[in-house]
Structure 1
Amino acid sequence: MALEPMRRTLDHPLPIHDLWDNPALLEWVERYVRDQMDGPRALHFLGLSRYLKYRKTSAITEPWGWKDPRNSFTLPLWLRLFPDARIIHIRRHGVDVAQSLKVRGEQGMASITAHYQRYGALAALRPKRSGFMESPRCAKIEGGFSLWADYLEEVENRLQALPDQQKLEIVYEDFLANPIEMIGPIAQFCGLDCGAEAARAGVADIRPSRALPHKADEELALFAKENAHVLARFGY
């Protein structure tokens, strides 16, 4: 779900703080988002079958949710819309996050530039709003790492204000190491029934080898060492 009226981006999210200081604007943004969620655009989130069943997001009766790192900054708005929402925060090592953002940006740039080279001026018939790279800040490992720190600092401040029963923090690497042990408490937190068979099926594709891949890369391991003081601030 995108918040179009707010001019901030994935890699430069801080301007959204101005919204919280403007109650009149915040009310209009909230109204806009409600209308979007209960209008035809709900199809993009619900999918065809659920859209035909519910027609609008506010009518959903089954458990549902979404995953979006931008929630770290937009949480105050979502809690106005869903005051009883359960918040799960997944913390991952900052160097691995930064490297993932860098690789994703490179892949996106390769795809977009290939499209432009192939179609030339005709590519303007279907322009991409983010240009040749979605997140220039994350093109370098330093930029992605500083963005990770910005997000963690923001979400930690937001979570402090929530009661314990409304929030759950998970360390990504701990989950990869013991998924079968952690899936039950996660389901319980969400108010879901999760038997042993469902738990095994839910974590069948989890690969512990995905934890801390930066350690196998000499340059990334050195970067982690040089930024140990930042990592330590967030539990690494």
Structure 2
Amino acid sequence: MPHAPIAVGGVGGSGTRVIANILQYCGIFIGSDLLPSNDTIWYAALFGRRNVLLDDDEELRALGELFFRQMADPTPLSPAELTRLRSLEEMPRHLHGPKIIHEWLEGFIVHCATAAPAERWGWKVPYTHVLIDRWLAWHPTLKYVHVTRNGLDMAYSQNQNQLGKWGPIFLNREVEIGPRDSLKFWCAVQRRVARIGARYPDRVLQISFDRLIRDPVPEIDVLLRFIGADLTAAQKDELASSIVPPETVNRHKAHDISALDPEDVAYARQDNAAPQTDDRT
């Protein structure tokens, strides 16, 4: 049986890069064109646009099938598939113009024409969570790793790209780029992923970045079991030693959090302290 593809996401700044590094260490292909943050450029080129949520199911599913197939077993694209990809270049994006999208798509097209099959593959793009309910429904072997980080720290992150891009959809209103709406967006994403995880308990794993940096090996063990990878104790220790806590841990303590919604603060504190349901013994 083919290995399950692994998707990685989370609110921007959650620490998804660390999980991507572990996947690569385990020999899982996440693309040959990656951003410095190890984001899979090809997924971003195909799905990193707000109007992707306006695609009808048939169109989105066809684009998803193309991506899944070409990541696992690349073959040259048909004229119709090339036309479908080219149509994405002029679609509006939050941060990127047509030129960079063209370059990203060119890389994907070259991959399709020249790359070898990947026995194990996946992708990492933080906003994967936006479409993860559909990917899980349409691809029954897919597994999803959602990286979560202390919501109060996330409220004061400099990375608010997701809030600007997806916040109006998740909160159903215009948003203000700042800590209050940042925390509201984080809470909305966490609640939604929890609901999706309840529907797919064996295929969705939430990994706490805060626990990972405090005590890496137990969290690495949980991740390895979930993705079906096996490493030696020495390899786990090597991975653990590469995980360096960022200086931004507990950054919320330098701020007056009274401007945040008290209900959101309570939820963030509860979420950060909540025990995991998987077996870490």
TM tier relative to shorter chain: 0.5 to 0.7
CA distance in 1, matches of 2:204, 2:259: 32
Whole-Å separation in 1 of the counterparts to 2:219 and 2:213: 9
CA distance in 2, matches of 1:138, 1:199: 41
Which residue, out of 24, 27, 30, partners 2:61? Answer: 30
Q: Residue 187 of structure 2: which of 149, 158, 173 is its match?
A: 149
TM-score by length of 2: 0.54
SS at match of 1:234: helix
> Where does structure 2 lack aligned partners over 5 or more consecutive residues?
1-42, 71-76, 83-103, 166-173, 274-281
Which residue type is aligned with residue 95 of structure 1?
A: L
Contact 2:197–2:205 (8 Å) recurs in 1 = no
Contact residue 92 and residue 172 of structure 1 kept, 8 A: yes
Q: For 1:151 and 1:45, how far apart are their aligned partners in 2?
A: 29
Q: Greater helix percent: which structure?
A: 1
Identity level (%) = 16
Alignment of 1:4-153 (within 5 A): 7=51, 16=53, 25-36=56-67, 38=70, 39=77, 44=107, 52-54=114-116, 59-61=117-119, 63-100=120-157, 103-104=158-159, 137=175, 139-153=177-191
State how far apart, in whole Å, the 1-side matches of 2:160 and 2:48 are.
22
Contact 2:147–2:208 under 8 Å retained in 1: yes
CA deviations over 1:148-190 (Å, ceiling 9, x no partner): 11111111111110133x2322222111111023212311221
The Cα shift of 1:43 comes to: 6.7
Taking the TM superposition and a 5 Å limit, the aligned residue runs for 1:156-235 are 156-164=194-202, 166-208=203-245, 210=247, 212-220=249-257, 222=258, 226=262, 227-232=264-269, 234-235=271-272
Which blocks of at least 5 consecutive residues in structure 1 are unaligned? 9-15, 20-24, 107-129, 131-135
Question: Structure 1: how far apart are the matches of 2:261 and 2:49?
Answer: 40
Residue 89 of structure 1 aligns with an amino acid whose one-letter code is H
2:151/2:272 contact within 8 Å kept: no
Distance 1:72 1:182, change over 3 A: same
Residues 90 and 138 of structure 1, relative CA distance in 2, 3 Å threshold: farther
Tell me how far 1:137 sits from its aligned partner. Answer: 4.0
Separation in 1, partners of 2:142, 2:67: 19
- CA change 1:96–1:33 in 2 (3 A) is same
- TM norm structure 1: 0.63
Deviation at 1:191, TM superposition (A): 0.8
Counterpart for residue 3 of structure 1: 47
CA contact (8 A) 1:176 1:208 kept: yes
RMSD: 3.5
Q: Is the 8 A contact 2:152 2:252 kept in 1?
A: no
The Cα offsets for residues 90-137 of structure 1, whole Å up to 9 and x where unpaired, read as 22111212222xx2359xxxxxxxxxxxxxxxxxxxxxxx8xxxxx94
